[in-house]
Chain A
């Protein structure tokens, strides 16, 4: 089965004050048509930078895509001209951003902004785009869409704005939607509604969905496959059920232990991973997770582990065999 999106050995670095921040350092993953793939990792692990790289939206300077390949529907996005990439952005690949409060333009109406992709990619008149936008707002269950389309973002709650963002992303019926922590900034009750809506609508339109999150609960509920990111690399990847039942990387295990459990005593179940993520401009030798890893051996300091197959479709980058050690 060929993939809709194939990212190969992507490296995106930032230059700041003479040092190089290796925000994404050799990331590879696939997204197949119609599936939901999660990217999980702590803050600063390079999730947003990965997503922005796919759309070629890395601010340059200070950022730069150093190397790699991003094949979308058979074409390498990194070798396209800016004009060709523009035809893909918002049209065939749409993105939903992390911050609903600041990601909408405060001085344009919500309706105008939601309809804008239609205006530019389908060369629709403003009137036409507006009508389609009302239908989209209806679809994301914003009450009274004819009225609300005329409102400005400040008149919307966070959840409503994120619904509007979803409507905007769906506008041109893209094949791929990248949702960058779409609910992190929202109330817990609203989070579930928004994610549910997103999942339902992508299923309806057949769009593939990349959910970026640091919440394994979200992964378990919505993703077919998972990529676990740490310090700019993917350290484990596989089917969601496989990763949950048979995690092979100590970082993945750590993430799971830090997940509140419904069974058992919360006090004992919650074990956040000790220590801090490394400085991406000054990575430790060997495996980037080694300073925080309770299983680390000499080999981990000497040489960074490559992703290797655990089971078909399940890869992990760790020198230690947890089953033997634990």
Chain B
């Protein structure tokens, strides 16, 4: 297990490097120029060649690209500094840090919601394969996949407002003061986001369960005289859910994409909202900062998934 762990951790380093290079380059390839925008949107800056050069010099944009990269990365590594917002002159790191808990809460709730709903339904569907219950479960899964969350989110905000003049809560109170009220803001968007994840999870769970239930060791378990629910929970689920866990790693990008939209619809001040603003303003440091944080997060979650996979599979766990 220790060797496995070290190997996994070392593998993260090149991944991080490539992720940072891509994040850095992509934003510079996109059309549109922050300096243009700054000059145009500010009444205090004169639109002269001199002024433009001065701004570029201040921001280090006059340097060759690889020097810019080195400066950016060493700032992050040695000072934990993600840079300063071009528009608002605030620390990018602080801006992101302020919003991360909001987005994390939303994402975690969505994933939790998906797992809690999907695993029991998936297991049930497999055990009762081709019965009415299975068809109902599978229909819900297809529905969950087919309905886009931006549409569902919009409907949930608009329809109750039209019908009853009610709209979902959006005002965030500090978690430490009123945890339940804090969480209540997230319930609806997290459920919407979780629905599409639940659909995928349910189908995967069902497929894996069907696969496992055909195995010889399940027959052995039955031949021992085990009750069917014990066969399912003790002998089948344990093996079927190992691959389902890897799904959670794959979810993270979907969750992040989804929160950008849902934070917008439900007016929740998370990282997604910050990203939308930054893109509108061509605020490079903020965009790259968010991308980098998200990228690192995805890599870390996948690492954790890998490790938990190891914990569940005795073959991987025992590797010396």
A→B interface (CB under 8 Å): 52, 55, 57, 86-91, 94-95, 97, 99, 102-108, 113, 116-117, 120-121, 152, 154-155, 165, 168
Contact = CB atoms under 8 A, between A and B. Distances in A.
What are the 10 tightest A-B residue pairs by CB atom distance, in nearest-first order? Answer: A90-B224, A89-B225, A90-B225, A102-B216, A152-B314, A105-B217, A103-B216, A95-B223, A86-B225, A103-B220
A90 B230 CA distance: 15
B224 A106 contact: no
B220 A86 contact: no
6 contacts: A86-B225, A90-B226, A103-B220, A107-B314, A108-B235, A121-B225
Interface string B198-222: 0000000000000000011101111
A53 to B, nearest CB: 13
Given A57-B219, A152-B315, A86 B227 contact: yes
Contact of A152 (B216, B222, B318): B318
B224 A89 contact: yes
Nearest to A93: B223
Interface size grouping (class) on chain B: 20 to 34
B239 A107 contact: yes
B71 to A, nearest CB: 50
B312 interface: yes
Nearest to A168: B224
B40 interface: no
B100 to A, nearest CB: 36
B303 to A, nearest CB: 22
Contacts of A86: 225-227
Nearest to A88: B225
B27 to A, nearest CB: 45
Nearest to B215: A102
Contacts of A94: 223-224
A154 B314 contact: yes
A107 B238 contact: yes
Contacts of A117: 224-225
A185 to B, nearest CB: 11
A209 to B, nearest CB: 16
Contact of A97 (B219, B238, B239, B312): B219
B98 interface: no
Interface centre among A103, A105, A121 (most CB of B within 10 A): A105
A293 B215 CA distance: 37
B220 A104 contact: yes
Contact of B315 (A55, A116, A154): A154
Nearest to B234: A108
A87 B230 CA distance: 14
A91 B220 contact: no
Nearest to B218: A105
Nearest to A94: B223
Nearest to B314: A152
Contacts of A116: 221, 224, 226
Interface in B272-316: 312-315
Contact of B225 (A102, A108, A120): A120
